[in-house]
Amino acid sequence: MAPRPFLSDLLVNLPARHRTALRWFEENAAREVAWPHPLDDGTLLVTKAKGIYKPEWSEYALSVRQSLNSPYPDSDVQHSEDGTWQYRYFQENLDVTARDTQFTNRGLLACYRDLVPVGVLHQTHPKPAARYRVLGLAMVNGYGDGFFLLDGVTSARIFEIREGATPTQPRPMTFADSVALPFEYALASEDRRQRAIKEVRVRQGQTGFRRQLLDAYGSRCAVTEYDAVEALEAAHIVPYRGPVTNHAQNGLLLRSDLHSLFDLGLLAVHEDSMKVVLAPDLRSTKYAAYEGTRVFTPTSNLLQPSRIALARHRVEAGL
């Protein structure tokens, strides 16, 4: 089996100082610290001027910081049993319509677009002896109503760059470009259908992921356009493998029964035609009415399902 790919393989185009700064947040996760000093090369980890730190030398935000006296309605951190966490961080500027006027918000949107993690700090003690808890690294996995959805990355060390990983030509790495890397090793050794039978349950990270897809699909099932919100679920195209997979382009909003069929490999979407493909066992049932149905997808390219991921799902399902 090929060696497990690390998220750092997707970040080789970042400046070395950016990777080093992100590594600091990874290595200090769960620690309480004083105000972080600049790194040896002078790189700042946070800034006192703004809660979102976007260095002038990068298009991406590097860190977010919650202060005890913040005027913003940031949510409490929600911890899951698997050790991951989720956090809704309000944008800079209380006027939601002014989001894109702030370079800091644009930096977080760039992280969302290109799967670049950010460091997260929470103030735990006020000045003059201010203290901060380092939550660690998080993926920006959505935006809605002024809030950026942050999913904590805690399940593995992601900066163990494999020997031989070298920078390539500078360009943004999108989910469609990178989806094969994080998931290939996870799919290689286990039958998808047998695994799915065990995993038809409440998904890790479901709340925020579902919120993303409800917004993206206008609260309608991608296949049936069924609009009863209570019956709609967020389906991962490639199975959940940590917060990086809770990305809108790795999802379909499906009615609960279709979600189960999708996870079981009995229903797929062809990546070229974007039409439903059914397993032979379903073609003699009432589900046959959905064979060949063109799925409804969001208008924004940033939210449309990854065709690479759809192809991987369809091939693994044998359809």
In this predicted structure, what is the pLDDT of residue 157? Answer: 39
What would the mean pLDDT of 182-200 be, rounded to a whole number? 39
Pick the residue with more confidence: 84 or 249? 249
* Contacts (Cβ under 8 Å, ≥6 apart) of 316: 187, 192, 265
Say whether both 180 and 125 belong to one domain: no
Cis peptide preceding 55, ω within 30 of 0: no
What would the mean pLDDT of 167-191 be, rounded to a whole number? 36
DSSP state letter for 275: B
- For residue 188, is pLDDT > 60? no
In this predicted structure, what is the pLDDT of residue 243? Answer: 64
Q: For residue 123, is it within any domain?
A: yes
Say whether both 192 and 275 belong to one domain: yes
202-230 core/surface letters (b: 16 or more CB in 10 A; e: else): ebbbbebbbbbbbbbbeebbbbbebeeee
Query: Tokens in use for 215?
Result: 């917004």
What would the mean pLDDT of 109-121 be, rounded to a whole number? 87
Sign of CA dihedral 121, 161, 206, 303: positive
Q: For residue 89, is it within any domain?
A: yes
Instruction: Report yes or no: 118 and 96 within 8 Å, Cβ to Cβ.
Output: no
Say whether both 241 and 137 belong to one domain: no
Rounded to an integer, what distance in angstroms lies between the CA atom of residue 150 and that of residue 142? 7
Q: For residue 159, is it within any domain?
A: no
Q: For residue 169, is it within any domain?
A: no
Lowest mean pLDDT among 85-89, 99-103, 161-165, 232-236: 161-165
Report how far apart, in Å, the C-alpha atoms of 302 and of each of 56, 110, 177, 249, 277 are: 25, 11, 13, 7, 24
Question: Strands, E, within the chain: which ranges?
Answer: 32-33, 52-53, 63-66, 78-79, 85-90, 118-125, 131-144, 147-153, 232-236, 251-255, 267-269, 276-278
Instruction: Report yes or no: 254 and 310 within 8 Å, Cβ to Cβ.
Output: no
Say whether both 140 and 65 belong to one domain: yes
What would the mean pLDDT of 130-153 be, rounded to a whole number? 87
Q: For residue 166, is it within any domain?
A: no
- For residue 202, is pLDDT > 60? no
Beta-bridge partner residues of 151: 86, 139
Residue 205 — very low, low, confident or very high, per pLDDT cuts 50/70/90? Answer: very low
Rounded to an integer, what distance in angstroms lies between the CA atom of residue 242 and that of residue 255? 23
Q: For residue 158, is it within any domain?
A: no
Say whether both 63 and 128 belong to one domain: yes
Residue 96 — very low, low, confident or very high, per pLDDT cuts 50/70/90? Answer: confident
160-173 core/surface letters (b: 16 or more CB in 10 A; e: else): ebeeeeeeeeeeeb
Say whether both 222 and 311 belong to one domain: yes
Say whether both 33 and 128 belong to one domain: yes
Instruction: Report yes or no: 267 and 285 within 8 Å, Cβ to Cβ.
Output: no
pLDDT tens profile 264-301: 899 999 999 999 999 999 999 999 999 999 999 998 87
Say whether both 297 and 198 belong to one domain: yes
Instruction: Report yes or no: 167 and 235 within 8 Å, Cβ to Cβ.
Output: no
Domain of 18, CATH number, reads: 2.30.280
Q: For residue 161, is it within any domain?
A: no
Say whether both 132 and 239 belong to one domain: no
pLDDT tens profile 42-80: 999 999 999 999 999 999 999 999 999 888 988 888 887
Rounded to an integer, what distance in angstroms lies between the CA atom of residue 194 and that of residue 183? 17
In this predicted structure, what is the pLDDT of residue 302? Answer: 77
Instruction: Report yes or no: 234 and 203 within 8 Å, Cβ to Cβ.
Output: yes
Quick one: residue 45, left, alpha or beta (phi over 0 = left, psi -120 to 50 = alpha)?
A: alpha
Residue 244 — very low, low, confident or very high, per pLDDT cuts 50/70/90? Answer: low
The whole-angstrom distance between residue 21's C-alpha and the CA centroid of its chain comes to 20
Say whether both 68 and 136 belong to one domain: yes
* Number of compact structural domains in the chain: 2
Cα Rg, the chain, nearest whole Å: 20
Q: For residue 170, is it within any domain?
A: no
Say whether both 184 and 313 belong to one domain: yes
* Contacts (Cβ under 8 Å, ≥6 apart) of 26: 136, 137, 153, 157, 158, 159
Say whether both 21 and 91 belong to one domain: yes
What would the mean pLDDT of 127-149 be, rounded to a whole number? 88
In this predicted structure, what is the pLDDT of residue 32? Answer: 95
* Contacts (Cβ under 8 Å, ≥6 apart) of 124: 32, 68, 131, 132, 133
What would the mean pLDDT of 127-152 be, rounded to a whole number? 88
Which structural domain, as residue segments, surrounds residue 285? 176-317
